[in-house]
Amino acid sequence: MFEALQIPDVFPLGIILFDILFLLVAIPIEAYILNIRLNFDKKSSTFYAICMNFFSSAIGWFICFQIEPLLPETWRLELINFVFFNRLSSSGEVLGSIVVFASLAFFITFLMKLVLLKSLIFSLREEITLTLKTQLPPIARYSRRNSSKKILNTNLVLTVLIANALSYSAILVLLFIIFPQS
């Protein structure tokens, strides 16, 4: 009955721990940026940062597992070697492709986080509009409607870009500390 629930012989514990560590680094940084730049309270900004990071991490792993069978054999072996054993070869082709994939991952993650944050804000819109209606007089509500949406959208994109860049930079510094060049 419990044969399907057995732990496999090779378990990628290292990459799971690294992913948890990266989430623990990225969530507070992004929550702070959301708090400062978008004037969310600390609880809301932490909630948004947790949702954005967990969902983007899960989607990223799903994409990785879907793309892995399509990769050339050398890249597949390098990916498997990194996921299970935290080792990369020092081949120039592999290191060059890592830079390209890291840049691509940054922008894809940025877009995923932006879409996720917009959908979270949209799904909680009723609560936000109720608080705005109680704070603004009726004339100000109608005159500021279009201009505040444009400012909020631009501010949202820039805030997510800054938060993603800072969290990626912190993770990169952490990687340089964990894997020093020999």
pLDDT for 56-86, tens place per residue? 999 988 988 888 888 888 888 887 777 777 6
Q: How far is CA 82 from the centre of its chain?
A: 20
Distance CA 46, CA 29 (A): 10
Share of the chain above pLDDT 90, in %: 32
Q: Is residue 147 very low, low, confident or very high in pLDDT (cuts 50, 70, 90)?
A: very low
Identify the DSSP state of 91.
-
Task: Give the global pTM.
Answer: 0.75
pLDDT for 99-111, tens place per residue? 788 888 899 999 9
Other residues' Cβ atoms within 10 Å of the Cβ of residue 166: 15
* pLDDT higher than threshold 50 for residue 151: no
pLDDT for 86-97, tens place per residue? 677 766 666 777
pLDDT for 158-170, tens place per residue? 999 999 999 999 9
Under 8 Å CB-to-CB from 33, ≥6 apart: which residues? 159, 162, 163, 166
Calculate mean pLDDT across residues 23-43: 92
Q: Is residue 129 very low, low, confident or very high in pLDDT (cuts 50, 70, 90)?
A: very low
Mean pLDDT for the chain? Answer: 79
CA dihedral 96, 160, 158, 99 (to 10 degrees): 0
pLDDT of residue 175: 82
Q: How far apart are the first and last CA of the chain?
A: 48
Distance CA 40, CA 174 (A): 28
Q: Is residue 130 very low, low, confident or very high in pLDDT (cuts 50, 70, 90)?
A: very low
pLDDT of residue 7: 60
Nearest in space to 64 (alpha carbons), one of 74, 49, 75, 51: 75
* pLDDT higher than threshold 70 for residue 52: yes
